[in-house]
Amino acid sequence: MSERRAQSWPVRVFGLLSRANYAIALICGVVLLATVIFILVDIAMRQIVGRGLGGSDEISGYVIAGVAAWGFSYALVERAHVRIDVLTGRLPPAGRAVFDLAAAATLMVVAALVTSYGWRVFARSWNSNSRANTPLETPLWIPQSIWLAGWGWLTLVALVVTICLAALMLMRRFESIHAIGGVGSEMENEQ
């Protein structure tokens, strides 16, 4: 039997999520790099010409908010979110799996709540055509939609991860649960 067939569907689905989030992380990196270049050009123009492009502080704030929201999903699939594992490290694999599933489900609920409240803010900005109180007068729905989409994506990714972990729990594949949703240890990172 091939290696692909030997993997259970939750592991394959998680692999697809990981690849999608890796691509998103690369896009976020390019956006951050472009923002840094924009800021550097703005600073250089202020020093050389005496007048900058303007708005670099506002735009960079929007970019940071958007990149952070989209980056949370990458952190989830890379097991980079901080979790305190004083208790779970001493449990048998089945016990750790319960905590891993609970952590993913809790993250999904929190992300859904933020997305829900973020939607309300976005809708209010859209309906009232709110603009930033800055020289750029940016329509607030633009940065809010990017931020909101990132939180929506995190909600979806956390939901799929939770479903994958629950399926693996039913299959009693505790090591796969740890590999997907467990706390990464320093010893694992060294290997």
Q: What is the pLDDT of residues 145-181, one digit of tens each?
A: 999 999 999 999 999 999 999 999 999 998 888 888 8
- Asked if the model's pLDDT at residue 90 lies above 90, the reply is no
Beta-carbon contacts of residue 43 (< 8 Å; ≥ 6 apart): 52, 56
Query: Other CB atoms closer than 10 Å to residue 164's CB: what's the count?
Result: 24
pLDDT digit string (tens) for 19-69? 999 999 999 999 999 999 999 999 999 999 988 888 888 999 999 999 999
On whether the CB atoms of residues 148 and 94 are closer than 8 A, the answer is no
Specify the range with the lowest mean pLDDT, choosing from 84-88, 104-108, 179-183: 84-88
Report the b/e string of 104-126 with b at 16+ CB within 10 A: bbebbeebbebbeebeeebeebe
